[in-house]
Chains A and B, each alone.
Chain A
Amino acid sequence: DTRLTQSPSTLSAAVGDRVTITCRASQIISNWVAWYQQKPGKAPKLLIYQVSNLASGVPSRFSGSGSGTEFTLAISDLQPDDFATYYCQQYNSFSLFTFGPGTTVHLK
């Protein structure tokens, strides 16, 4: 089974910063990688699908990239609404999801 790790596990940043979160897979995976944002007490929200495609309604300051075993979520011009926990997710050919452990973005 493919395992996903995320780094860093926590991140302190200020409004206006650019932040990047890395998701690494234990083996080469397909480009079916997604990113979600979750705020406390709320359901996750899809941000990025298939590595770099922005989900509907998601601001363009969010972007995704990567291939092989390393994938990145970048948030440029961090806004107060962006302080949350972010999860990467891989979707394999057997329609199975694997989630990363999450990265929490705190206000510095």
Chain B
Amino acid sequence: EVQLVESGGDLVQPGGSLRLSCAASGFTFSSYSMNWVRQAPGKGLEWLSYIGRGAATIYYADSVRGRFTASRDDARNLLFLHMNSLRADDTAVYYCAKDSGSAADHWGQGTLVTVSS
């Protein structure tokens, strides 16, 4: 069974940094691209980042490019999102999602990031 478990969400001050993790199991992690998607309170889904197999290709949404960095550790089946220069509008539930090649076919339960002083 595919499982994705995010962690690392926290309350952080504006301008601060945070690293989110996503632990994957139940599939050959290294063979799949992965995505980060977030959802602000009461809002819709916003795609943030795509990281291909072996991290050979990484893409970002304009809203986070230059502030967020996606990475992966295939030896430990972990996906990361390093977030810097956090702003109030980064407050959201952050999901990792497995990429099927044309959609996100499995999602984690999400981790909440709150940016506030």
Q: Flag if A43 contacts B108 (CB, 8 Å).
A: yes
Interface string of B52-72 (1 = CB under 8 A from A): 100001010100000000000
Q: Which residues of chain B are near A87, meaning CB under 8 Å?
A: 44-45
Contact of B105 among A46, A97, A102 (CB under 8 A): A46
| Distance in angstroms between the alpha carbons of A98 and B59 in the assembled complex | 13
With A99-B45, A99-B46 known as contacts, the answer to whether A91 contacts B103 (CB < 8 A) is yes
Q: Is A18 part of the contact surface with B, judged by Cβ < 8 Å?
A: no
Q: Flag if B103 contacts A89 (CB, 8 Å).
A: yes
Q: In the complex, which residue of chain B has the Cβ closest to the Cβ of A44?
A: B107
| Distance in angstroms between the alpha carbons of A65 and B95 in the assembled complex | 27
Interface size on B, residues (CB 8 A): 24
Contact of B102 among A32, A42, A44, A45 (CB under 8 A): A32
Q: In the complex, which residue of chain B has the Cβ closest to the Cβ of A46?
A: B105
Q: Which residues of chain B are near A100, meaning CB under 8 Å?
A: 44
| Distance in angstroms between the alpha carbons of A17 and B40 in the assembled complex | 31
Q: In the complex, which residue of chain A has the Cβ closest to the Cβ of B99?
A: A95
With A43-B95, A99-B46 known as contacts, the answer to whether A34 contacts B35 (CB < 8 A) is no
With A34-B102, A87-B45, A102-B44 known as contacts, the answer to whether A97 contacts B35 (CB < 8 A) is yes
| Distance in angstroms between the alpha carbons of A34 and B52 in the assembled complex | 19
Q: Is A101 part of the contact surface with B, judged by Cβ < 8 Å?
A: yes
Q: Flag if B45 contacts A95 (CB, 8 Å).
A: no
| Distance in angstroms between the alpha carbons of A44 and B4 in the assembled complex | 13
Q: Flag if A49 contacts B44 (CB, 8 Å).
A: no
